[in-house]
Amino acid sequence: MTSGVLHLIPVPLGDIPPDGALPLATLTALRALNYFIVEDERSARRFLAAAAHPCAIRSLRIERFDKDSDASRARQVLQPLNQGISAGLLSEAGCPAVADPGALVVAAAHSAGLQVVPHVGPASMILALMASGFNGQQFMFHGYLPPGRDQCRAAIAGLEQESRSRNTTQIFIETRHRSDALLALILETCEPVTRLCVACDLTLPTQSVRSRHVRDWRRSPGAPLGRRPSVFVLYAR
């Protein structure tokens, strides 16, 4: 018997129709699957319905794999693939296994000799990098910076220094309610000539991208980011 395939299926970055936000090849792959490994069952069902999955959503097999799941759980959720059933690994938003817990499932799939197929969809850090106009030949993604004010400030200064010395663009994210505090800390910490791009609500109708020197951000910081999902891109050169 042929083993099942693990399909890595991206999810839109917000509440927009999946058939506009994902390529047809991704939608076709996901509509052919009856088994999904997801971070959150409820939002996964909502997404599958919005993506016009041809089966009754309640008839689909859905297993949870979230930030508290471990390698043993990863092997467990991959069991059906040994019986020839293919699975879709879904993220909550964006690409599975990038800045989300799914990488453990992908690693377990490789260990088990299963075929892994990544599909095209939105990746917020790449959209922000494209939109920044900064160096796209070398870049680093850091996920979240440390939470404490002093530690975060030290991290920002370190990334700025590294950007300058290695000519590399630095990308990081923040939980929604702390985006304005992080922006203020960056403007306090960085050199006036360092460049900062803040990309909000990427791919949504409310999308905005501002990319300028820190000195210009200080002069006119603009409207607060509020609770809009934001990606920060820093470049010192």
Token pair of 97, please?
Answer: 């296994």
At 34, which amino acid appears?
N
Which one among 44, 121, 194, 232 touches a copy of itself, defined by CB under 8 A? 121
- Cβ atoms 134, 25 nearer than 8 A: no
Q: How far is the CB of 59 from a copy of itself (least distance, A)?
A: 27
| Alpha carbon 144 to its chain's center | 12
Which one among 50, 103, 112, 154 touches a copy of itself, defined by CB under 8 A? 103
- Cβ atoms 150, 41 nearer than 8 A: no
Residues 161-200 that bind a copy of itself (CB under 8 A): 168, 199
- Interface region with a copy of itself, contact rule CB under 8 A, candidates 55-63, 134-142, 145-153, 217-225: 134-142
Residues 29-88 that bind a copy of itself (CB under 8 A): none
215 touching a copy of itself, by CB under 8 A: no
Which one among 31, 45, 75, 142 touches a copy of itself, defined by CB under 8 A? 142
Q: Collapsing DSSP states into helix, strand and coil, what is residue 166?
A: helix
- Interface region with a copy of itself, contact rule CB under 8 A, candidates 37-45, 129-137, 177-185, 221-229: 129-137
At 168, which amino acid appears?
T
- Interface region with a copy of itself, contact rule CB under 8 A, candidates 51-59, 78-86, 96-104, 179-187: 96-104
From start to end of 61-136, where are the E strands? 61-64, 87-90, 115-118
Tell me whether residue 106 or residue 186 sits nearer to a copy of itself (CB atom). 106
Helix or strand holding residue 119 (H, E): none
- Cβ atoms 89, 29 nearer than 8 A: no
Terminal C-alpha separation, the chain: 56
- By CB under 8 A, name the binding residues for a copy of itself: 8, 19-25, 28, 95-100, 102-110, 115-118, 120-123, 126-143, 168, 199, 202-203, 207, 209, 211-212
